[in-house]
Structure 1
Amino acid sequence: MSADLRVNKPTPFFSEQPLIAFSRASNVALTIKALEVGKPVLIAAFYSDGLDLLKALHQHLKKRFPNGTFKEQRAYRLAYQKLSKLIYINIVDHKLIVKKAPAIGWLAKLYPEQTSFLLPFTKVQGLNSAWQWYKNGIDLPVLRSKIHPYYGVYFPTRFDHLILFDNWLKRYNGPKKSAIDVGIGSGVLALQLVKFGFQKVFGTDTNPNAIVGLTESMEDTKLSRKIELDFAPLFGKWEKQTELIVFNPPWLPAAHDLDHIDEAISYPETLFSEFFKAAKKRLLPEGKLVLIFSNLAQLTQVTDTHPIADELAVGGRFKLEQCLKRPVKAASSQTKRDQNWRATEDVELWILVHA
Structure 2
Amino acid sequence: MPIVGWSENHTQRTASWRAENGAPPPRDIVVIDDDISADKALRLARSGTGMLWRGDFHNARQLMRALDRRLKKRASRAPQAADPGEGFHANRRARAQRAAILGAILIELEHDYTIRLRRAPDVRDACRHAYGQPSSDGNGAAGEETLVSLPELLGVISAYEWHRTGIEIGALGARIHPAHGVFAPTRDEYIDLVADAPWPPGIHQPVVWDIGTGTGVLAAVLAQRGARHVVATDINPRAVQCASENMDRLGIADRVHAVEADLWPAGEKRADLVVCNPPWIPGRPTSTLERGIYDPGSDMLHRFLSELPIHLTPRGEGWLILSDLAEHLGLRTRDALLDRIADAGLAVIGTHVTTPRHPRAADSADPLHSARARERTTLWRLAARA
Which TM-score bucket, shorter chain as reference? 0.7 to 0.9
Give matches, 1:169-184, under 5 Å: 169=198, 174-184=203-213
The question of whether the paired residues in 2 share the 8 Å contact of 1:12 and 1:119 is answered with: no
Please list the CA deviations of residues 242-283 of structure 1 after superposition, one character each: whole Å capped at 9, or x if unmatched: 1000000111101x3543212110112232332223212111
1:188-209 deviations in whole A, cap 9, x for unaligned?
1001101101121111111111
Identify which of 31, 41, 44 aligns with 2:54.
Answer: 44
- Structure 1: unaligned runs, 5 residues or longer: 1-10
Unaligned residue ranges in structure 2 (runs of 5+) = 9-28, 81-86, 136-142
Corresponding residue of 1:101 = 120
Indicate the SS of the match to 2:348: strand
Written as runs of structure 1 = structure 2, the 5 A alignment for 1:1-355 is: 14-18=4-8, 19-62=29-72, 64-65=74-75, 66=78, 68=80, 69-92=87-110, 93-104=112-123, 105-109=125-129, 110-114=131-135, 116-169=145-198, 174-219=203-248, 222-254=251-283, 256=284, 258-269=286-297, 270-304=299-333, 308-313=337-342, 315-329=343-357, 331=359, 337-338=366-367, 339-355=369-385
| Contact preservation (8 Å) 2:50, 2:105 | yes
Aligned length: 343
Q: 2 CA distance for matches of 1:155 and 1:335?
A: 24
Find the aligned partners of 2:201 and 2:62 in 1 and give their Cα distance: 52
164-173 or 105-114, which deviates more? 164-173
User: Given the two structures, how large is their TM-score scaled by the length of structure 1?
Assistant: 0.87
CA contact (8 A) 1:23 1:46 kept: yes
AA of the residue aligned to 2:100: K
Q: Secondary structure at the match of 1:20?
A: strand
For 2:325 and 2:204, locate their aligned partners in 1 and report how far apart those are by CA, in whole Å: 33
Counterpart residue type for residue 191 of structure 2? L
Contact 1:71 1:302 in 2 (8 A): no
SS in 2 for 1:165: helix
Larger radius of gyration: 2
Q: Which amino acid aligns with 1:36?
A: R
Is residue 51–residue 106 contact of structure 2 (8 Å, CA) maintained in 1?
yes
* TM-score, normalised with respect to structure 2: 0.80
How far, CA to CA, are the matches of 2:187 and 2:47 in structure 1?
Answer: 38
How many angstroms apart in 2 are the aligned matches of 1:22 and 1:284?
63
CA drift of 1:329 comes to 2.8
For the Cα contact (< 8 Å) 1:169–1:196, is it kept in 2? no
Partner SS, residue 274 of structure 2: strand
Task: Tell me the secondary structure at the aligned position of residue 287 of structure 1.
Answer: strand
Deviations 1:209-228 (A, max 9, x none): 11122233445874222111
Secondary structure of 1:349's aligned partner: strand
Name the amino acid aligned to 2:117: V
Runs of 4+ in 1 over 6 A off after TM superposition: none
What SS does the corresponding residue of 1:118 show, helix, strand or coil?
Answer: strand
The 2-side partners of 1:307 and 1:173 are apart by 31
CA-based RMSD of the aligned residues comes to 2.6
